[in-house]
């Protein structure tokens, strides 16, 4: 049983989300504001966080930043339909996925299942890969560069592993979203763009001139070891 922390200032939203996630066998803890969420997170670290961006006091993006300073636990953001800037900032801070309000509780539950499965399709191949001074270990889900640990979010690791395990192959954005996120049409391509950019910033020697994460214009992305 996985513990999911649901953070939203609307009790009816928390209750509906909790009801659907409980049906999937999850244990639910709830918070209506950022301070309560931080306290719950520290006392009972969850397996996943469902986090509303608009919160009283400490807002969702500030809480997202606080979480990432302490943990790589997956986070799914709840954002207003028109707030693209919040979604982009959330992804850049390390969110693994987002759902726009109003949303289908069934869709959110499916997203939670997908994230918690840790996408086995993205971890095919050997248990350990090396390229340059970078080492990837799928058993421990650890990445090092020059002997120093690189902190990656859940989806950053899955995307890195999938690309590195398939060197030289060009994958379209839709293929990568389907293989790494587990579905295709539900995410816009901006999500993938943000994750590629973050991997370049963390892995490449010169992110502005990437050697490993290559954009193939009009086709998608290719990994070169």
Q: What is the pLDDT along the chain (225 residues), one digit of tens a residue?
A: 688 999 999 999 999 999 999 988 888 999 999 999 999 998 888 989 999 999 988 999 999 999 988 888 899 999 886 667 888 888 888 888 888 888 899 989 988 988 887 644 444 455 788 888 999 988 788 899 999 999 998 889 989 998 998 888 888 888 888 778 765 444 566 788 999 999 999 999 999 999 999 999 988 999 998
| 173, 220 contact by CB (below 8 A) | yes
CATH of residue 50: 3.40.50.2300
What's the pTM?
0.64
Does 78 lie in the same domain as 144? no
Does 8 lie in the same domain as 111? yes
The whole domain housing 182 covers 120-223
Does 97 lie in the same domain as 10? yes
Alpha-carbon gap, residue 160 to 91, rounded angstroms: 16
Question: Among the three residues 72, 98, 116, which one is the final residue of a domain in this structure?
Answer: 116
In order of 60, 98, 186, the CA distances from 45 in angstroms are 17, 20, 28
Alpha-carbon gap, residue 132 to 45, rounded angstroms: 35
Question: Among the three residues 55, 84, 116, which one is the final residue of a domain in this structure?
Answer: 116
Question: Among the three residues 67, 95, 116, which one is the final residue of a domain in this structure?
Answer: 116
Does 194 lie in the same domain as 164? yes
């Amino acid at each position: 049983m996985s513990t999911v922390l649901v953070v939203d200032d609307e009790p009816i939203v928390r209750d509906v989300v909790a009801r659907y996630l409980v049906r999937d066998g999850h244990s639910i803890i709830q918070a209506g504001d950022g301070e309560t969420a931080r306290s719950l997170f520290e006392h009972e670290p969850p397996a996943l966080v469902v986090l509303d961006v608009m919160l009283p006091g400490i807002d969702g993006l500030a809480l997202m930043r606080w979480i990432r300073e302490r943990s790589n636990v997956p986070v799914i953001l709840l954002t207003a339909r028109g707030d693209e800037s919040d979604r982009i900032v959330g992804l850049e801070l390390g969110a693994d996925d987002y759902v726009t309000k109003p949303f289908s509780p069934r869709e959110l539950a499916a997203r939670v299942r997908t994230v918690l499965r840790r996408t086995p399709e993205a971890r095919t191949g050997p248990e350990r890969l090396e390229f340059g001074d970078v080492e990837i270990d799928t058993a421990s889900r650890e990445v090092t560069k020059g002997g120093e640990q690189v902190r990656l979010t859940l989806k950053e690791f899955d995307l890195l592993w999938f690309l590195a395990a398939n060197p030289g192959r060009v994958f379209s954005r839709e293929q990568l979203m389907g293989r790494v996120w587990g579905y295709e049409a539900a995410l816009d391509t901006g999500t993938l763009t943000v994750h590629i950019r973050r991997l370049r910033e963390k892995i490449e020697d010169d992110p502005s001139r990437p050697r490993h994460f290559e954009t193939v214009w009009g086709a998608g992305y290719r990994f070169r070891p």
